[in-house]
Chains A and B, each alone.
Chain A
Amino acid sequence: MVEYEIKPVAKLGFGVDELWRYRELFYFYTWRDIKVRYKQTFFGFAWAVMQPILMMVLFTFFFGKKLGVPSDSIPYPIFVFTGLLMWNIFSSGLTSASNSIINNAHIIKKIYFPRLIIPLSSVMVTLFDFLMALSIYLVLLFYYGINVNVFEVTGALILALLITALTTFGLGTFLAALNIKYRDFKYVIPYTIQVLLFVSPVIYPVSIVTSAWAKYLLAINPLSGAITLLRSAISDVPPDWNMVLISACCALVYFIGGVLYFKSSETYFADIV
């Protein structure tokens, strides 16, 4: 017999034990979001692969060929795809996570479950897209005949993914909670993401930034660390570990801050959404 007490909210925490109890719902939520995402599209899951390829082709043409942006001795398509791999997790994850609570308002008003499941599952959907894109990435690496150390790349991938996912999820939950109170964020977020693309080393290498301070400032955006790490794994340039460390710490801070803010306001979602 489960005994449960419903009372005014007081404690602040991550609610991990509760999330664990609802793990099946989390699974179904992610499953549903992935299914719904590509329903009624002609190409279906192929979109997850086509999107980064199209972007890669565009960027390679404009920035690589026409503008001659340096690429740390990596072929520019691979160089930019490496950046896009992480960037797409961040941009689409942040967009969908920040709108996720509003989009699920009708469910929130009718049924209780840990609300964290909603932004969490929308980030999971972008991780699914990432896996699709990753397969293309591996094919590209082979096509361009890039010699890599499998362990090095795997390790770098895992760490970069972790940094990107924590950042996306942390900022996503934070914005999701803010978005409910102030719908203004709905309009601010797309512009911010566009600006962030140019502040992240997606189309250009970190090496074009010469001042150490500017570099570390860039690392506050954890994507910088993640992308630099991954690029150094497929080239001869060793990673700037200071930068990676700053990025990793920032990612952790964003994650904890975002989730705590979300948890502190989630109980009133149903009333103000």
Chain B
Amino acid sequence: MFKIHHNAGGYLSLRERLSGLYKLGKNNDEDFWAVKDVTFSVNPGESKAVIGRNGSGKSTLLKILSKITPPTKGKIITRGRMASLLEVGTGFHPELTGRENIFFNGSLLGMKKKEIENKFDEIVDFSGVEKFLDTPLKHYSSGMQLRLAFSVAAFLDSEILVIDEVLAVGDMDFQKKCLDKIETVTKSGRTILFVSHNMAAIRALCSSVLVLDKGQVRYHGDVAHGIDHYMSISSSFEEQPGVFNLEQHPSKKIKQSGLVEARLIRDGKPNYLFFPGGPFKGEFDFAGMAPDAEVGFRMVIKDSYFQSMVNITNHDLGLRLQANKSGAGTVVFEMDVLPVYGDGTYYIDLQFGDEAKYKDTIENALSFKLEPKDVFGTGKFLNPKINTVFPGKVTINVQ
């Protein structure tokens, strides 16, 4: 169980003080509280997700919990053996063999030599690298390294686990294996604190959510509300509903180029409400590409459980997209029939880049809601609680 009282990381001032020394005592200190007034507790057996945008203080909180950085104020009480996984494969050395790395990494994670020996076969089995156990790590593919790294971490036996986005490594098969393993861990009655951007994983694995923003707790409670709250912080359309500024989107990696603004259009105007089975249109402004560059565009529509419902690229459709002379342009995406039906909010992921290589991915770039509609013309609304695809014209009869 953790009890966190007003803990904080004001360490940036130290770094500034040091650089200040070089500048012959010029004092330009500024205190920065990465996390402030955060108080919460995690009960035994609970798995709690910590979510927040970049710079919200998640990483600092994790570092304090893992004892890597001491808090400036406040305290944390833990009861039970705690292990933290801020990364898989910490301390892996390319010159050492797989076997040697398992022992060193396991020991770093806090496992006793006996424990590692006991679980050694399971670890190797799970990773699937038994053939290369006595080969130096530098000859492993990066996928194999990740698999080995996750496998050591997966057999940690502590009562409390602090996990940073280390999920979903390796190929599809292994990702599934990882998620299954984490699910069994969460179900085994251990206490887990989990930081991730993967909302689907959070929904599947966690029982409560803590939303951080600017170093403070914005929401603490059940998963569904927490995620909604987080989404409202990260993709808020302050000016106009249906218009999204993508330049500063938290998940956008390349800030200078690519997509800059997106608009969802209904009846010629930006809107965020659409009808199931109705028309759907999006306009996506981009800039900063090479003149006349050929660009690629992918759009993924996901339901509120982050299951993808639509996933389509211009290449799938055999369409070529080209930027104008100044490397800018607007991608217009139109669908006659919006093929989703159900309650709640839908999220859109975008990928964009040139020469058919997607340079940038923006997760949850846009969101829209569905209005109930008498889709089949029967005078009745369908049960909106069911998330499903819109089936188009359907007949059912007895012959």
Contacts and interface: CB of A to CB of B under 8 A. Distances in A.
Interface stretch (A35-43, A162-170, A201-209): A35-43
Given A36-B93, A110-B90, A111-B90, A5 B68 contact: no
A4 B77 contact: yes
Given A24-B113, A32-B96, A111-B108, A271 B69 contact: yes
A107 interface: yes
Nearest to B8: A8
A7 B104 CA distance: 28
Q: Which of A3, A111, A270, A272 has the most CB of B within 10 A?
A: A111
Closest 8 CB pairs of A and B: A112-B67, A7-B75, A6-B76, A28-B107, A39-B95, A110-B90, A271-B11, A270-B68
B103 interface: yes
Interface string A259-273: 000000001101110
Interface residues of A, number: 34
B79 A271 contact: no
A110 B68 CA distance: 7
A8 B109 CA distance: 23
A184 to B, nearest CB: 10
B100 A35 contact: yes
Given A271-B14, A271-B15, A272-B15, A107 B108 contact: yes
A51 B146 CA distance: 38
Contact of A1 (B14, B68, B69, B80): B80
Given A107-B91, A112-B67, A6 B100 contact: no
Interface of B: 7, 11, 14-15, 18, 63-82, 84, 86-87, 90-91, 93, 95-96, 100, 103-104, 107-109, 112-113, 136, 159
Contacts, number: 107
A109 B87 CA distance: 10
B14 A24 contact: no
B18 A181 contact: yes
Nearest to B63: A270
A24 B71 contact: no
B75 A5 contact: yes
A25 interface: yes
Contacts of A181: 18
Given A32-B100, A113-B108, A6 B65 contact: yes
A7 B78 CA distance: 11
B63 A6 contact: no
A75 B7 CA distance: 65
B70 A9 contact: yes
Interface string A110-148: 111100000000000000000000000000000000000
Contact of A36 (B67, B78, B96): B96
Interface in A92-121: 106-113
Contacts of B14: 268, 271-272
A5 B91 contact: no
Given A4-B78, A6-B75, A39-B95, A111 B65 contact: no
Contacts of A9: 70
A32 B90 contact: no
A2 B79 CA distance: 6
A267 B71 CA distance: 10
B86 A111 contact: yes
B86 A110 contact: yes
A112 B90 contact: no
Interface string A229-246: 000000000000000000
